[in-house]
């Protein structure tokens, strides 16, 4: 009976060890070789003139491998946004560089908020840069839902953030 108990304990410990190894391997898996490696998260703040943040934009429905850069310029009262996403693998490929601007609605020592309504996309986009936390929140909320061109538009709020590619959740 003693040898059977030791055998069963050995099996259980082996199964637990194997499970732990699989979990560890999945958590610390290196990026796939067919992914383009974009730069890590960066934040720069020249308090009186501009603030910028760049990194991987993460959240619901976002492409797994992308990089976004947001530069808000106080004097021009505008945030400039540039982005590029990986669109293919084997060989790795990127999409076109997208660029657009959003007007700033608030500039303080603590945060910068840019906001724009898009009647064609039926959303209000609000970008908030928290200067103390060195973080960005990208919020898209539905607007004009009673307009005919918005009948098939998204009806939920979408929240995104800029993260370091290495810490961004994998999809």
Q: Using alpha carbons, select from 97, 81, 85 the residue that is nearest to residue 36.
A: 85
Whether 36 is in a domain gets the answer no
Whether 139 is in a domain gets the answer yes
Same domain, 135 and 52: yes
Whether 127 is in a domain gets the answer yes
What is the four-CA torsion angle of 154, 135, 46, 56, rounded to 10 degrees? -70
Which phi and psi angles does 86 have, rounded to 5°?
A: -75, 130
Q: pLDDT per residue over 28-74, tens digit each?
A: 655 556 678 888 999 999 988 999 999 999 988 777 789 999 999 99
| Residue 129, number of CB atoms within 10 A of its CB | 26
Whether 59 is in a domain gets the answer yes
What DSSP designation does 8 have?
Answer: H
Same domain, 91 and 119: yes
For the chain, the distance separating the N- and C-terminal CA atoms, rounded to the nearest angstrom, is 48
Same domain, 61 and 89: yes
pLDDT at 101: 95
Chain mean pLDDT for the chain: 83
Most confident range (mean pLDDT) of 12-21, 89-98, 162-171 is 89-98
Distance CA 63, CA 57 (A): 9
pLDDT at 19: 58
What DSSP designation does 35 have?
Answer: S
Distance CA 126, CA 105 (A): 10
Same domain, 92 and 147: yes
Whether 37 is in a domain gets the answer no
Domain that holds residue 89: 42-163
Grouping H, G, I as helix, E, B as strand and the rest as coil, residue 55 is strand
- Percent of the chain whose predicted confidence (pLDDT) is above 90: 46
Same domain, 53 and 134: yes
Same domain, 20 and 55: no
């Amino acid at each position: 009976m003693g040898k059977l108990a030791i055998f069963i304990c050995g099996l259980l410990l082996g199964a637990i060890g194997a499970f732990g190894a699989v979990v560890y391997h999945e958590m610390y898996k290196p990026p796939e070789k067919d992914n383009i490696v974009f730069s890590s998260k960066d934040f720069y703040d020249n308090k009186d003139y501009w603030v910028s943040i760049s990194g991987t934009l993460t959240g619901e429905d976002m492409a797994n491998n992308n990089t976004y850069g947001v530069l808000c310029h106080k004097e021009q009262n505008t945030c400039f946004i540039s982005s590029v996403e990986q669109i293919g693998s084997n060989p790795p490929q990127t999409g076109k560089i997208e660029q657009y601007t959003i007007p700033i609605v608030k500039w303080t020592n603590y945060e910068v908020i840019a906001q724009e309504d898009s009647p064609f996309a039926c959303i209000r986009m609000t970008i908030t840069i928290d200067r103390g936390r060195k973080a960005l929140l990208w919020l898209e909320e539905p607007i004009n839902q009673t307009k005919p061109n918005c009948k098939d538009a998204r009806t939920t709020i979408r929240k995104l953030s800029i993260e370091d590619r290495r810490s961004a959740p994998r999809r």
